[in-house]
Homo-oligomer: A and B are copies of this chain.
Amino acid sequence: MRQSHLFGRTLREAPAEAQTPGHRLLLRAAIARPLAAGLYTWLPLGFRVAEKVEQIIREEQNRIGAQEMEMPVLTPAETWKQTGRWEALEPITFRTTDHNGREFMVSYTHEEFVHQHAKQEIQSYRQMPQIVYHFQSKGRDEARPRAGLLRVREFVMKDAYSLDADAAGLEKSYAAEHGAYARTFERMGLDAISVESDTGAMGGDVAHEFQVLTEVGEDRIAICTNCDYRANLEKATRKVGSSASADGIPAPSPVATPGTTSIEALEKALGLPASAFLKTLLLRTKEGVVAVVLPGDREANEPKLRKLLDVPSVQFAKDSDFAAVGGVPGFVGPVGLRSVRVLMDVSLEPRGYVAGANKKDTHLRDVVPGRDFSGERVDVHDVREDDACPRCGGRLEIKRGVEVGNIFAYGTYYSTKMDATFLAEDGTRKPFVGGSYGIGIGRAVQTIIETHHDDRGILWPPSVAPYHVHLIALPSTDEEVRARADELVGALERDGVEVLYDDRDDTAGVKFADADLIGIPLRLTVSRRTLKEGKVELKPRGKPDAELMPLGEAVAHVAAIVRGWPDLPEMGAR
């Protein structure tokens, strides 16, 4: 590819709104361009990267026997309504209505449609296990797209779906996908770890995310420094347990706390640590008001609350709700609330706390959970650094990560709702047992950049680099240089080496800076100076040393390096 005609212009500076190193380099190196907030175009360089990422995913899916197919982007409302997701997904999806009034969703994912097809295509247990997958555009009505391709409104996802005859089959398919994911990310240069995760909108109980640890990530992951426990904070727990005892603690008694409505203010006013207080959150749900009680030094974890309450978002109580249950804003506490469902976080110890008295300017001392109030024991707190691992008691660390893949074992969640059954070995009809497995292409590409760059630009892992070699002619206006460079490009391409050929009429400074920015693994320079010695210069991106080699040996030498790279996807003619 001649760079003089490449559709995509490198930028000296990234637009000010670019938020992460990967986002900045994505724009500067002409990998992708926004069409609107959260809607991106792959420019030709980025498209090549995306295709290689796709091909690696494809090869690893095919290796475990998955079959590629393609379902549409527009999906009919009727099917979504069978599982209740037409309504549940409303806040985060795009919908459209045709001129006859029929409704469609710009597809969010395809579980419903795989089950619809399975009803027709799979009749017997003998035809399973089955894994099908496709690469297809997904729409997400993200209120706040951010950080380039990390959070967008449309993206191509590889989504795979396993169909098994029983739970044991699902376990095997899930394990096969887990293994395929590990190989997939490794091949594209992503150091992804598998962590336990919430099942979110997918249903079911078991789910894992593949997380790449980086400061630009939105997710927070609890990682045990001792054992292999790793979980998204949306799901992470910790070992709780206390030797505290309520023995001898007197009954609650009021303490005047005029105008003291926050834990912080209480700490100051009473000279006690945050952990001495109870934090009581009043939430409103369709079923009424819910009080969530935590120690004063713990934060509630919103995803855990959403899952527990089965709501799309957590809503705080309004003044009218406070009045209805006998709570006083700023002084609410679990003792004396009426008509309320009480959730007691597992962090609460059997000892005395200071809690709101449900009376203006007043708190209660010596409130003992379980003695002075009761409720359901639940885990709704945010795990934090230095907490004890729930598995081994070791120290937990909290890291930021980007979720590059997720896998869900939802079992019969969809098949029972959709009456999607097959003929089982015992002659009865049984519901399909399923799982789904997603990887977003754009997010993977940007995460590769986030974790493979220096201050000059990108350092592509060879397996996903847009080209293998960046060949630079200096100056391209010199006839001899041009002729030798043209020959080299031709010979390299015949040997299966992909070449971006900088034939532009530009200075060495501009060309080398662009080469560093674009980040192709090998830079081959043909210049008047090197040709004087009958040589060309080879420099690997990210290494300081350039190597001069005889012109006649360059093609064989470079081709050997490229053939030696592991993990290259087997692309067709591009």
Q: Which A residues fall within an 8 A CB radius of B?
A: 1, 4-9, 30, 33, 35-36, 39-44, 46-47, 50, 55, 58-59, 62, 65, 67-76, 78-79, 91, 94-96, 98-100, 104, 106, 113, 116-117, 120-123, 126-127, 130, 132, 134, 137, 139, 141, 143, 153-154, 569-574
Contacts and interface: CB of A to CB of B under 8 A. Distances in A.
Nearest to A113: B35
B94 A74 contact: yes
B6 A574 contact: no
A36 B76 contact: yes
A9 B120 contact: yes
Given A5-B127, A55-B573, A67-B6, A121 B35 contact: no
A30 B95 contact: no
Contacts of A40: 72
Contacts of A141: 98-99
A75 B154 CA distance: 10
A62 B139 CA distance: 30
20 contacts: A1-B67, A4-B127, A5-B127, A33-B121, A35-B75, A35-B79, A41-B69, A41-B72, A41-B113, A42-B69, A44-B69, A47-B70, A47-B134, A50-B70, A68-B574, A73-B73, A74-B153, A96-B96, A98-B141, A570-B573
B42 A70 contact: yes
B75 A7 contact: no
A134 B7 CA distance: 13
A76 B62 CA distance: 36
A156 to B, nearest CB: 8
Contact of A130 (B7, B91, B95, B570): B7
Shortest beta-carbon contacts, A-B, top 7: A570-B573, A572-B572, A36-B76, A44-B67, A42-B70, A94-B96, A571-B572
A6 B44 CA distance: 35
A199 B221 CA distance: 56
A68 B71 CA distance: 22
A43 B71 CA distance: 8
Contacts of A130: 5, 7
A8 B130 CA distance: 11
A100 to B, nearest CB: 7
Contact of A69 (B47, B73, B122, B137): B47
Nearest to A40: B72
Given A55-B573, A62-B574, A39 B75 contact: yes
A119 to B, nearest CB: 11
A308 B554 CA distance: 63
Contacts of A70: 41-42, 47, 50
A122 B7 CA distance: 7
A110 B442 CA distance: 20
Contact of A74 (B5, B113, B154): B154
Given A4-B126, A55-B572, A41 B117 contact: yes
B72 A154 contact: yes
Contacts of A39: 72, 74-76
Contacts of A143: 99-100
Contacts of A569: 572-573
Given A41-B113, A70-B47, A71-B41, A59 B573 contact: yes
Contacts of A79: 35
Given A7-B130, A9-B120, A96-B139, 8 more contacts: A39-B76, A41-B113, A43-B69, A44-B68, A62-B574, A72-B154, A94-B96, A570-B573
Contacts of A76: 35-36, 39
Contacts of A75: 35-36, 39
A439 to B, nearest CB: 17
A444 to B, nearest CB: 15
Contacts of A65: 5
Contacts of A55: 572-573
A68 to B, nearest CB: 6
Contacts of A113: 35, 41
Most buried by B among A5, A98, A141, A572: A572
Given A95-B96, A117-B33, A570-B573, A123 B69 contact: no
Given A70-B41, A154-B74, A570-B573, A99 B106 contact: no
Contacts of A6: 67
Contacts of A91: 99
A516 to B, nearest CB: 20
Could you say which of A41, A75, A95, A113 has the most chain B C-beta atoms within 10 Å of its C-beta? A41
Contacts of A98: 94, 141, 153
A132 B41 CA distance: 12
A120 B33 contact: yes
Nearest to A127: B5
A72 B570 contact: no
A441 to B, nearest CB: 10
A40 B117 CA distance: 11
A567 to B, nearest CB: 13
B35 A73 contact: no
Nearest to A92: B99
A132 B5 CA distance: 11
A522 to B, nearest CB: 22
Contacts of A71: 35, 41
A67 B500 CA distance: 13
